[in-house]
């Protein structure tokens, strides 16, 4: 019988509900939803599938334990009680890669890291009957969260963060991460049957993520994961089966209308190269075009975009004009919706109307707003409409 683990998927703050739905859709039971994290139950196959298929998670951690500790002695003893030998082989390389502490008595990351490492060594010395560990095998880095003296310990199965899909080698000035872009698209009612335009496409993240969703391309198909080397926990066959499943689901013949524009021709070229790397260049129309030239003959489309915020002082002067242009071009589009992430606090004022919804989101350390201007829904198709010319 397969062993069941608790798995922790960290995500952007505010995106927990989106990630929860993704995990449920993959077929796994949620046990806990906290700020920036969703915990669920799964076996070795779930570790593979979560890494390959989740679009909005930052990584997947195998939960090794959780306990209360408000002194370093408590931290040492509780860490030592965790059966590390069940997770880490005798030649495994293990260390506390990251420790974060909020509202806890223990707050020094470096002290937490060194004390936990010592405790792990003590436990494993007893389990493996050795005094020294070569640590020349597979890597088992730990990520530790302390919140109100409650310690949660996870072993990182992912390696490089899941936002690193492997397609974005060229980036624009203020790129949005792939995981956040995917989560924001999922917060909208957009689907592959609807038009999507990003008039500030930059390195192409929004349109590429949308095209990958439309073609059912798993975000982790073109990269590797740390736990591929965990032969003591995950049989190699699990990874092969997961990749076979991902390949079988791809629909490269899907018909979509996805467009990415940018005023900078070099940026457009970079976006096109990124789309080729992601295998979706045939699904996206890229073009050098300014926002004031934005138009579309059809109704019920979506603008999903990350326009300039004016990070530099000289750029700030241009923002009123730029956001006024966004508002004018959006007003000229018939029955469209506009979804926009920006740190510019006067965005609504210059767009010329108040958003139907507004969500505060931290993009890295920057406070941004996700403004949602919702257009009407298209009428339901009548039977036989699909046969009309």
Question: Residue 387: its pLDDT value, please?
Answer: 32
In tens, the pLDDT along 192-244 reads: 999 999 999 999 999 999 999 999 999 999 999 999 999 999 999 999 999 99
Q: In angstroms, rounded to a whole number, what is the distance separating the alpha carbons of residues 4 and 88? A: 17
Q: Determine if residue 129 is left, alpha or beta; phi over 0 gives left, psi from -120 to 50 gives alpha, anything else beta.
A: left
Torsion of CA 358, 361, 363, 367, to 10 degrees: 80
Predicted confidence band of residue 79 (pLDDT cuts 50, 70, 90):
very high
Residue 382 confidence (pLDDT) above 80:
no
Residue 99 confidence (pLDDT) above 90:
yes
381 burial (CB, 10 Å; 0-12 / 13-18 / 19+) is: exposed
Do residues 87 and 230 touch, judged by C-beta distance below 8 A?
Answer: no
Question: Residue 314: its pLDDT value, please?
Answer: 57
The structure tokens listed for 353 are: 């109307």
In tens, the pLDDT along 271-328 reads: 999 999 999 999 999 999 999 999 999 999 999 999 998 766 557 888 999 999 999 9
Among 155, 120, 126, 128, which Cα is nearest to 141's?
155
Do residues 347 and 340 touch, judged by C-beta distance below 8 A?
Answer: yes
Question: Residue 386: its pLDDT value, please?
Answer: 45
Average of per-residue pLDDT values in the chain: 94
- Pairing of the two strands 366-373 and 302-305: unpaired
DSSP H helical ranges for 159-303: 178-186, 205-214, 236-249, 265-278
Question: Residue 363: its pLDDT value, please?
Answer: 80
Kindly state the average pLDDT of the residues 22-35.
97
Contacts of 361 (CB under 8 A, 6+ apart): 12, 13, 14, 15, 180, 184, 341, 368, 369, 370
The structure tokens listed for 197 are: 């335009």
Which CATH fold would you assign to the domain 5-156?
VC0802-like (3.30.2130)
Predicted confidence band of residue 1 (pLDDT cuts 50, 70, 90):
confident
Q: At what angle are helices 44-53 and 236-249 packed, to 10 degrees?
A: 40
Kindly report, as residue ranges, where domains of CATH 3.30.2130.30 are found in the chain: 5-156
Kindly report, as residue ranges, where domains of CATH 3.40.50.150 are found in the chain: 178-217+252-376
Contacts of 23 (CB under 8 A, 6+ apart): 9, 30, 38, 40, 50, 54
Predicted confidence band of residue 388 (pLDDT cuts 50, 70, 90):
very low
Among 326, 319, 289, which Cα is nearest to 304's?
326
Do residues 333 and 296 touch, judged by C-beta distance below 8 A?
Answer: yes
SS3 260: strand
Task: Specify the DSSP class assigned to residue 86.
Answer: G
Question: Residue 316: its pLDDT value, please?
Answer: 81
Residue 111 confidence (pLDDT) above 90:
yes
In tens, the pLDDT along 275-291 reads: 999 999 999 999 999 99
198 burial (CB, 10 Å; 0-12 / 13-18 / 19+) is: buried
The structure tokens listed for 108 are: 């020094």
166's enclosing H/E stretch is none
| pTM of the model as a whole | 0.94
Q: 71 or 366, which is more confident? A: 71
Class of domain 178-217+252-376: alpha beta
Residues in the chain: 389
338's enclosing H/E stretch is strand 337-342
Contacts of 339 (CB under 8 A, 6+ apart): 184, 187, 188, 302, 303, 304, 305, 370, 371, 372, 373
Please, what is the Cα angle at 282 between 386 and 263, to 5 degrees?
110
Using the structure block, give the residue that is written with the tokens 């009309």: 388
Residue 94 confidence (pLDDT) above 70:
yes
Contacts of 295 (CB under 8 A, 6+ apart): 329, 332, 333
113's enclosing H/E stretch is helix 109-128
């Amino acid at each position: 019988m397969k062993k069941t683990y608790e798995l922790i998927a960290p995500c952007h703050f505010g995106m927990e509900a989106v990630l929860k739905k993704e995990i449920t859709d993959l077929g796994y039971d949620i046990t806990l939803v906290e700020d920036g994290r969703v915990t669920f139950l799964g076996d070795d196959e779930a570790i593979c599938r979560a890494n390959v298929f989740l679009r909005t998670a930052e990584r997947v951690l195998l939960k090794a334990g959780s306990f209360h500790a408000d002194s370093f002695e408590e931290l040492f003893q509780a860490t030592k009680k965790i059966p590390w030998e069940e997770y880490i082989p005798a030649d495994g390389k293990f260390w506390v890669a990251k420790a974060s502490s909020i509202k806890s008595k223990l707050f020094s990351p470096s002290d937490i890291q060194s004390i936990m490492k010592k405790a792990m060594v003590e436990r494993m010395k007893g389990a493996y009957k050795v005094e020294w560990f070569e640590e020349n095998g597979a890597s088992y880095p730990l990520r530790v969260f302390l919140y109100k003296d409650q310690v949660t310990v996870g072993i990182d199965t992912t390696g490089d963060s899941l936002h690193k899909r492997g397609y974005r080698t060229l980036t624009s000035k203020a790129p949005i991460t792939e995981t956040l872009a995917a989560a924001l698209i999922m917060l909208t009612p957009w689907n592959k049957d609807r038009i999507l335009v990003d008039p500030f496409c930059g390195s192409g993240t929004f349109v590429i993520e949308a095209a990958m969703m439309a073609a059912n391309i798993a975000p982790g198909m073109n990269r590797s994961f740390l736990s591929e080397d965990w032969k003591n926990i995950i049989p190699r066959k699990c990874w092969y089966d997961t990749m076979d499943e991902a390949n079988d689901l791809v629909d490269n013949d899907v018909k979509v209308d996805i467009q990415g524009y940018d005023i900078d021709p070099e940026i457009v070229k970079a976006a096109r190269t990124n789309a080729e790397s992601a295998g979706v260049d045939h699904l996206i129309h890229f073009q050098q075009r300014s926002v004031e030239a934005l138009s579309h003959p059809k109704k019920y489309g979506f603008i999903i975009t990350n326009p300039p915020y004016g990070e530099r002082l000289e750029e700030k002067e241009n923002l009123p004009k730029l956001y006024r242009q966004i508002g004018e071009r959006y007003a000229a589009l018939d029955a469209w919706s506009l979804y926009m992430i920006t740190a510019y606090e006067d965005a609504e004022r210059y767009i010329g109307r108040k958003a139907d919804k507004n969500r505060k989101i931290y993009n890295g350390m920057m406070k941004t707003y996700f403004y949602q201007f919702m257009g009407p829904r298209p009428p339901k198709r009548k039977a036989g409409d699909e046969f009309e010319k």
